[in-house]
Amino acid sequence: MSKQIGEVILDLQNISLRFGGVKALTDISFDVREHEIRAIIGPNGAGKSSMLNVINGVYHPQEGVIIFHGRERKKMEPHHAATQGIARTFQNIALFKGMSVLDNIMTGRITRMKANFIEHALWLGRAKREELAHRKKVEEVIDFLEIQHIRKTPVGRLPYGLQKRVELGRALAAEPSMLLLDEPMAGMNVEEKQDMCRFILDVNDQFGTTIVLIEHDMGVVMDISDRVVVLDYGKKIGDGLPDDVKNNEDVIAAYLGVSH
Amino acid sequence: MSFGAPTGTPEGLGTFPRLLFHHAQTRGDAPAIREKDLGIWQTWTWSDVAERVRALASGLAALGFKRGDNLAIIGDNRPHLYMMMSAAQCLGGVPVPFYQDAVADEMLFVLKDAAIRFAAVEDQEQVDKLLDVMDRVPLLEHIVYDDPRGMRHYNQPYLHDIHALMEMGRIHNRNHPDFLDAEVAQGRTDDVSVMLYTSGTTGMPKGVCQTHAAFIASAQGGRQIDRLEATGDILSYLPMAWVGDHLFSFAQALVVGFTINCPESGDTVMTDLREIGPTYYFAPPRVFESLLTSVMIRMEDAGVIKRRMFHYFLGVAKRCGSAILDGKPVGLGDRLLYGLGTLLVYGPLRNVLGLSRIRVAYTAGAAIGPELFSFYRSIGINLKQLYGQTETCAYVCLQPDGQVKPSSVGAPAPGVEIKIADNGEVLVKGPMLLKGYYQRPDATAESIDADGYFMTGDAGFIDADGHLNIIDRAKDVGKLANGAMFAPNYIENKLKFFQYIKEVVCFGHEQDRVCAFVNIDVGAVGNWAERRGIAYSGYTDLTGKPPVHELIKTCVDEVNATLAHDAMVAESQIHRFLILHKELDPDDDELTRTRKVRRNFVAKKYQVLIDALYGGQATQFIETEVKFEDGRRGKVSADLRIIDAETFPVAKQAA
């Protein structure tokens, strides 16, 4: 691949997260470089989704430092993450089922809308101009993900694989610099997985978006990621290039269930 | 005739490039091409198109494209690909459209056969296919692509973005301002304008060379019969490699000057059809079939009142709709009812189908079931049939307004002569005949007889009204062991009218009785099964369900009952049939790219099933290899049940 992987843009140092007495994450450190595809893998309950939630500000770790674009941040809410260019998708699809694909993707533009609600209600100059510009961007996303044929379809009527694609579309509509994908391929058949892989690679390649993804399908992870971090029971047990991780004994043990 | 349209073809407009530039000069601001892009219909006027074609042609010339070169066109119906056709013609070259969903290996044959040096393709997918076979086609020098998506890392010097080519052409134009006009002026009306490859139901594909004169004559004949107008709209969504699309979306569009509309993607055709509301529409029977199937499925899910109303008014339409369309006398009561039906059912239905502005709709490519055909006419859509083949520019017979019969394909078109050979084969002659097969003088000689008639290979007869009736492919018409005529297509079409049945292959030549393979329509049968609470896991499982067997049996029985009424085909009642465990598919070579059954191939591939049908077995195990779209292979297997249908005694002829 000919893309240029840049500087570290997200650095997580010694992150620990507890829910009461439950240790979800213990002393985890890793970094994410600009333009790379960074995978987080691990068995069920390893803390992968918690890690993602820490990155986008849903959970606040009790210990550790998060440095994003060179600045340390302690407390951050998810909407701050959104305005700073972090977008995400969810493990269980979180779309508005009764709204059309178009409207769902439009919600991804919300942080970029400037006109206030009175302007929108009265359809004044700025609101109209904005709406047209946003609609154009949304149409580009629709074109990119090849979902023109379901533009006006309510999301609840779509098959699972397409809903996943719409969710990716909503995240893309925010024009993020970093995209967090929580199991983008869970529950898909082979063909849908291949399509999704292609879209993820295309996003990374064409827009230079940095991607952090959680995925169970090892084949997929090894194929598309640049670097992989492996979690087990809230601890980091491996980190490196896909091939290194694949041959790491701890990783093999965690996945094959060898007794500890 | 609307304002500004060329009437007749004035002297000096005998080639398509000249027609294009004539439109640009006389009605430059009229819309020529529309395409839906980013959710909005974008319009190119005739002058826009002319400017781009000039740029593309000059760009091609700058790359070294010369008179007599062939230009491969590979992709969906995109405005730039249509423009590339014109660009090649400007330089005296020949566009060769390919079926865009063919895999690389299938393209290889045509690439070699047509000695392709230049290719214009739609996107990365098609570029990849060509790169795959590049080492086996040493002649291929340049590939131009329309959609730059995903092409950033391709840096081969022989790949060109179409916009870069246009820029190159504009510079070439500035430096050599007289070059292109001189090239266009050199074009002669009997030059080859396009090469269309036959789909190859028989043997290897052959390149059919058609001249400007042939396609212009065919397009003018069509305009004369149907009074086509320059203000019309057509949706261009059928493969560009198909003669029908070339006649309607290219030749007629340039001769008449109407607007062609390219859909957003293959999946949005239905939505785009509704948005454009074409005045002129062309579709093979299977499209009309699937439109009807989808309507019927949705009606079954509708409320009781709507459903009753729908079926009541369809009954009214069946009784008097076609007669009203043909302007025949109809009683006042029926007229009033039909008017009410238009308000409540037919109008909204036409609107849902996207056919409310239709002046003329055509179907061709295969025989259409009479019931299906009458259905569309009865709800007020002027659906007509035409008959023709690649070798005749799809222009032999047209049904004139007011003389439409479901059984015939119409009267000979202006300028066409027809006669029936002794063996029943249809022979045709006229200005639309092919110039020849590309580099196959032997095949050309075989297909045109001493008097200059083209042998169509179809068996047919001319009825009392002078209309041509097609029975079947001449070579498919066989005889049962007892000597009775066996026309498989005729029976298959009757079965395919049932929404549950997608495809049928009948066997019976030199056998004592007729047996059949059936492909279910997974949409319709799946919906039917769901409503009855029949659980199934996929296509193969669904075909194995006993209630599905019963369902199909009722269809077969019904067809047998109608066959029994006609002495000619009464012997052809289907005695036994089975439901195939997989859909017949062009990827497995069972259908042609135009989705016609390759009868002999299917018979050979499933010989064991045929043996079981005739051998009297009750079930038969079969395992079949299937090819997936990405080229991988897999296997499907099933125990197929063989079902005995009910047959009926031959009805006494009521004189």
**Cα separation of B397 and B222, whole Å?**
10
From A201's Cα to the closest Cα of chain B, the distance in A is 10
Q: How far is A250 from chain B (nearest CA, A)?
A: 35
Provide the token pair at B609: 């099933």
In terms of domains, do B488 and B468 share one? no
Cβ of A139 within 8 Å of Cβ of B40? The answer is yes
Q: Which regions of B172-310 does DSSP assign to beta strands (E)?
A: 192-197, 207-211, 233-235, 259-262, 280-282
How confident is residue B635, by pLDDT bands cut at 50, 70 and 90?
A: confident
Residues from chain A that touch B123, judged by Cβ atoms under 8 A, are none
Of the candidates B61, B393, B427, B452, the one whose C-alpha atom is nearest the C-alpha of residue B211 is B393
| Residue B289: inside a domain | yes
Q: What is the pLDDT of residues A12-48, one digit of tens each?
A: 999 999 988 888 899 999 999 999 999 998 888 888 8
Contact at 8 Å (CB) between B518 and B504? yes
Say whether both A184 and A160 belong to one domain: no
The A227-232 sheet, strands edge to edge = A86-89, A178-182, A210-214, A37-41, A227-232, A235-240
Residues A2 and A57 in one domain: yes
Please give the residue range of the domain that contains residue A118: 92-175
- Which chain B residue is nearest to residue A102, measuring alpha carbons? B39
Chain B residues lying within 8 Å of A142, measured CB to CB:
38-39
Asked if A149 and B267 come within 8 Å (Cβ–Cβ), the reply is: yes
- Is it the case that residue B653 has pLDDT exceeding 80? no
Q: Does pLDDT of B567 surpass 80?
A: no
Q: Does B271 touch chain A (CB under 8 A)?
A: yes
CB contact under 8 A, B39 and A205: no
The whole-number pLDDT of residue B2 equals 36
Contact yes or no for B46/B33 (Cβ under 8 A): no
Share of chain A above pLDDT 70, in %: 97
**A169 and A208 share one domain:** no
Q: What is the pLDDT of residues B230-243, one digit of tens each?
A: 999 999 999 999 99
If asked whether residues A168 and A180 sit together in one domain, one would say no
User: Is 90 exceeded by the pLDDT of residue B86?
Assistant: yes
| A139 and A67 in a common domain | no
For residues A78 and A200, state if they share a domain: yes
Instruction: Give the number of domains in chain B.
Output: 3
* B38, B268, B630: residue with CB nearest A136: B38
Of B37, B40, B271, the CB nearest to A149: B271
| Minimal C-alpha gap between A148 and chain B (Å) | 7
B263 vs A contacts (CB less than 8 Å): none
Q: Which is nearest to B385 in space by CA: B276, B290, B470, B494?
A: B470
Please write the tens of the pLDDT for every residue from B179-230.
Answer: 999 999 999 999 999 999 986 655 688 999 999 999 999 999 999 999 999 9
pLDDT at A178: 93
Identify the three-state secondary structure at position B160: strand
C-alpha closest to that of B234 among B224, B219, B221, B216? B219
State the pLDDT at residue B147.
93
The residue of B38, B40, B630 whose CB has the most chain A CBs within 10 angstroms, and thus the best one to mutate to test that interface, is: B38
B153 touches chain A (CB under 8 A): yes
User: Which range has the top average pLDDT, B47-51, B390-394, B424-428, B484-488?
Assistant: B47-51
Contact check, Cβ <8 Å, B39/A202? no
Beta-bridged to residue B459, according to DSSP, are: B425, B472
Lowest mean pLDDT among B335-339, B518-522, B562-566: B562-566
Confidence at residue B330, expressed as pLDDT on a 0 to 100 scale: 86
CB contacts, 8 Å: A169 with chain B? none
Taking each helix axis as running N to C, give the angle between helix B285-300 and helix B522-531, from 0 to 180 degrees, rounded to the nearest 10: 10
Q: Residue A148 is nearest to which of B150, B268, B630, comparing CB atoms?
A: B268
Whether residue B461 sits in one domain with residue B340: yes
DSSP annotation of A97 reads T
Of the three residues A133, A159, A175, the one that is the final residue of a domain is A175
Q: Which residues of B touch A205 (CB under 8 A)?
A: 150, 152-153
Cβ burial B508-529 (10 Å sphere, 16+ → b, else e) = bbebebbbbbbbbbbebbbbbb
- pLDDT by residue (tens digit) across A126-184? 788 888 889 999 999 999 999 999 999 999 999 888 999 999 999 999 999 999 999 89
One domain, residues B467 and B500: no
Pair (A163, A181) in one structural domain: no
Contact B358, B281 (CB under 8 A): yes
What is the distance in angstroms between the Cα of B629 and the nearest Cα belonging to chain A? 10
What span, in angstroms and rounded, lies between the C-alpha atoms of B79 and B260? 9
A53-104 per-position pLDDT tens digit: 999 888 989 988 899 888 887 677 888 888 888 998 888 888 999 999 999 9
Burial of B89 (0-12, 13-18, 19+ CB in 10 A): buried
Task: Identify the pLDDT of residue B655.
Answer: 36
**B residues 19..78 contacting A (CB < 8 A):** 36-40
Shared domain check, B537 and B420: no
Same domain, B292 and B202: no
Distance from CA of B155 to the nearest CA of A (A): 12
Contact list in B for residue A140 (CB cut-off 8 A) is 38
Chain A residues in contact with B271 (beta carbon < 8 A): 149, 152
pLDDT tens-digit series, residues B488-515:
888 888 888 788 999 999 999 888 999 9
- Of A175, A203, A230, the one marking the end of a domain is A175
| Same domain (yes/no): A21, A137 | no
> Which residue on chain B is closest to A152 by alpha carbon?
B271
Do B465 and B525 share a domain, yes or no?
no
Can you tell me the distance from the alpha carbon of B77 to that of B55, in angstroms, rounded to the nearest whole number? 20
Tell me the chain A residues in contact with residue B298 when contact means C-beta distances shorter than 8 Å. Answer: none
B69 pLDDT tier (thresholds 50, 70, 90): very high
A142/B271 CB distance under 8 A: no
* Cβ contacts of B128 on chain A, cutoff 8 Å: none
CATH code for the domain in which residue A212 is found: 3.40.50.300
**Of B497, B479, B500, B472, whose CA–CA distance to B597 is shortest?**
B472
- Asked whether the beta carbons of residue A142 and residue B39 sit closer than 8 angstroms, the reply is yes
B457 and B487 part of one domain:
no
In-domain check, residue B514: yes
Here the tokens at position B144 are 């131009």
Report, as an integer, the average pLDDT of B37-54.
94
Reply yes or no on whether the pLDDT at B570 is more than 60: yes
User: How many C-beta atoms surround the C-beta of residue A204 within 10 A?
Assistant: 20
A151 to chain B: which residues are within 8 Å by CB? 39
Distances, alpha carbon B243 to alpha carbons A176, B195, B206, B358, B522, in Å: 47, 10, 13, 22, 29
- State yes or no: pLDDT of B10 exceeds 70: no
Tell me if B39 and A135 make a contact (CB, 8 A cut-off).
Answer: yes
What sign for the dihedral angle of Cα B335, B337, B340, B342? negative
DSSP letter for each residue of B489-544 = HHHHHHHHTSTTEEEEEEE-TTSSSEEEEEEE-HHHHHHHHHHTT----SHHHHHT
User: Is B153 in contact with A194 (Cβ distance < 8 A)?
Assistant: no
Residue B651 has pLDDT above 90, yes or no: no
Contact A206 B265 (CB under 8 A): no
**Chain A residues within 8 A of B264 when measuring between CB atoms:** 148-149
Does residue B515 form part of some domain?
Answer: yes
Question: Which burial class, exposed, middle or buried, applies to B628 when counting CB atoms under 10 A from its CB (0-12, 13-18, 19+)?
Answer: exposed
Q: Which are the contacts of B593, defined by CB distance < 8 A and separation ≥ 6?
A: B99, B101, B102, B199, B239, B241, B586
Instruction: State how many domains chain A has.
Output: 2
Q: Is there a single domain that holds both residue B293 and residue B155? A: no
Confidence of residue B8 (pLDDT cuts 50, 70, 90): very low
Residue B346 belongs to what domain range? 285-431+449-473
Contact A139 B264 (CB under 8 A): no
Q: Which of B439, B473, B507 corresponds to the end of one domain?
A: B473
Show which residues on chain A lie within 8 Å of chain B, measured between beta carbons: 2, 135-136, 139-140, 142-144, 146, 148-149, 151-152, 194, 202, 205-206
Q: Is residue B241 part of a domain?
A: no
Question: What residues of chain A lie within 8 A of the CB of B36, using their CB?
Answer: 148
Shared domain check, B465 and B548: no
Instruction: Please tell me whether residues A47 and A120 are part of one structural domain.
Output: no
User: Taking CB atoms and an 8 Å limit, are A205 and B268 in contact across chains?
Assistant: no
**B271-303 pLDDT tens trace:** 899 899 999 999 888 888 888 888 888 888 889
Do the chains contact at A205 and B152, CB–CB below 8 Å?
A: yes
Amino acid at B493: N
**Which residue, of A175, A193, A215, is where some domain finishes?**
A175
Predicted confidence (pLDDT) at residue B576 exceeds the cutoff of 70: yes
Look at B39 and A139 and tell me if their CB atoms are within 8 Å: yes
Whether the per-residue pLDDT at B482 is higher than 80: the answer is yes
All residues of chain A having their beta carbon less than 8 Å from the beta carbon of residue B40 are: 139
**Residue B373: closest CA among B313, B321, B298, B324:** B321
**Would you say residue B401 lies in a domain?**
yes
The CATH number covering residue B578 comes to: 3.30.300.30
Asked, for residue B270, whether it belongs to a domain, the answer is no
Q: Is there a single domain that holds both residue A41 and residue A78?
A: yes
Residues of B in contact with A144 (CB under 8 A): 149
Q: What is the least distance, in Å, from the CA of B151 to any CA of chain A?
A: 10
Q: A71 and A9 share a domain? A: yes
Q: Is the pLDDT of residue B3 over 50?
A: no
Q: Is B631 a member of any domain?
A: yes
Say whether B100 sits in a helix, a strand or coil: coil
Option in A139, A194, A206 nearest B38 (CB)? A139
Residue whose token pair is 């002999």: B600
Q: How many CB pairs under 8 A join A and B?
A: 35
How far does Cα B237 stand from its chain's mean position? 10
Q: Could you give the dihedral angle defined by the CA atoms of residues B432, B433, B436 and B437, in that order, rounded to the nearest 10 degrees?
A: 90
Per-residue pLDDT tens for B247-263?
999 999 999 999 999 99
Write the DSSP symbol of residue A59.
Answer: S
Q: Are residues B584 and B538 in the same domain?
A: yes
What's the rounded mean pLDDT across residues B354-370? 85
Element holding B574 (H helix, E strand) = strand B574-579
A80 and A181 housed in the same domain: yes
- Are B511 and B372 contained in the same domain? no
pLDDT at B4 over 50: no
**Residues in chain A within 8 Å Cβ distance of B149:** 144, 202, 206
Q: Does an H or E element contain A214, and which?
A: strand A210-214
| Mean per-residue pLDDT over chain A, rounded | 87
Amino acid at A161: G
Query: pLDDT tens digits for A224-254?
Result: 999 999 998 889 988 999 888 888 888 888 7
User: Residue B79 belongs to what H/E stretch?
Assistant: helix B79-90
Cα dihedral sign, B541-B542-B546-B549: negative
Measured between CA atoms, how close is B253 to chain A, in angstroms?
A: 27
How many angstroms separate the CA atoms of B329 and B82, rounded? 45
C-alpha span between B542 and B523 (Å, rounded): 11
Q: Is residue B258 part of a domain?
A: no
Of A140, A148, A152, which is closest to B265 when you measure between CB atoms? A148
The reply to whether B326 and B453 lie within a common domain is: yes
